Amino acid sequence: MVSCILCHSSETKAIGAFQDITYYQCCNCRSVYKDPGVFLSPEAEKERYLLHQNDVGDIHYQKFVSPIIEGVLKHFNSTSTGLDFGAGTGPVITKLLLEKDYDINVYDPFFHPDRSVLNNEYDFIACCEVIEHFHDPLKEFKLLYKLLKPGGKLFCMTELLPEPENFEGWYYKKDPTHVIFYSEENLYWIKRNCSFSKVSIEGRLVVFSK
C-alpha cells in the first residue's frame, strides 16, 4: 500500500481508480491523495501552470481571492508584513494588498523563486489554491508555521472534499497538479502536528493561527 503523503502512515486504503489514477485515503489523518506515481515532474507542472489565465486586473479573479483579502484586512493593518506563498503567474493578492499599502513579499518555486524571502518572518501568509499542490505537505506546513510570527495567521483557500458519493464526479480532482485533498479531519491533524494554536474553516477559506 502507498504510504500517506501527509502523515507518512502505512495504514492506508485505495478508495477507487478514476481515469486510470488510483486514490488513497489514510486511516490515520484521513487525507485523500493521488498515487504519487502519477505526480507531474517539475517541468510538466510548470507547463500546466503556464496555461492558467491569471490576469491580476481581472475583476473575477480579484473577487475569487477576496476571502483572503478580507481576512487580512480584518485581522491586520498596513504596518503588518505578509507573504504571498505560491503566487503563480499572476500574484493578484500581492497586487491588491500593495494597493492598500501593505508590505508583502511574493514567493513561488516556479515563477518567483527568490528563496531569500523565506528567511523572514511574517504577520500573515496567503496561500490561495496552493496547498492541494503540495507533494510533501507536512514539510510545507512546517515551513509555513516557521515563517509566521507569534500570533500570525496563514490564510489558505482550497476546495474541501465532497461527500464520498460525490467524489467520482468531483471536478477538483481532475486537475493533474492537484494531489492531496483536505477535510476537517486532516486540517485538524495539521493544526495539531504542526503546532498551530487554532484552525478555522469557513467554506473554501481555511485559517491557521500561530
pLDDT tens-digit map of 50-70 = 887 677 778 888 999 999 999
Residue 202 has pLDDT above 90, yes or no: yes
**3-state DSSP call for residue 185?**
helix
Does residue 2 belong to any structural domain of this protein? Answer: no
The candidate with the shortest Cα–Cα distance to 27, out of 45, 44, 3, is 3
Does residue 33 belong to any structural domain of this protein? Answer: yes
Q: Provide the pLDDT for residue 51.
A: 84
Work out the average pLDDT over 101-128: 97
**3-state DSSP call for residue 171?**
helix
Residue 5 has pLDDT above 80, yes or no: yes
Does residue 4 belong to any structural domain of this protein? Answer: no
Does residue 7 belong to any structural domain of this protein? Answer: no
Work out the average pLDDT over 155-178: 96
Q: Provide the pLDDT for residue 1.
A: 74
Does residue 186 belong to any structural domain of this protein? Answer: yes
Q: Specify the higher pLDDT residue, 58 or 98.
A: 98
Domain count, the chain: 1
Compute how many other C-beta atoms are within 10 angstroms of the C-beta atom of residue 8: 12
Cell of 2: 502507498
Q: What's the domain range around 75?
A: 12-209
Mean pLDDT over the full length of the chain = 96
User: CATH no. for residue 27?
Assistant: 3.40.50.150
Residue 67 belongs to what H/E stretch? helix 66-75
Residue 183 has pLDDT above 90, yes or no: yes
Q: Provide the pLDDT for residue 52.
A: 74
- d(CA 53, CA 51) in angstroms, rounded, equals 6
Q: Provide the pLDDT for residue 58.
A: 81
Does residue 188 belong to any structural domain of this protein? Answer: yes
Q: Provide the pLDDT for residue 59.
A: 87
Work out the average pLDDT over 78-102: 96
Q: Provide the pLDDT for residue 57.
A: 76
Residue 17 has pLDDT above 90, yes or no: yes
This prediction has a pTM of 0.96
Residue 148 has pLDDT above 90, yes or no: yes
**Which of 38-52, 149-163, 192-206 is predicted least confidently?**
38-52
Does residue 61 belong to any structural domain of this protein? Answer: yes
Does residue 101 belong to any structural domain of this protein? Answer: yes
DSSP 106: E
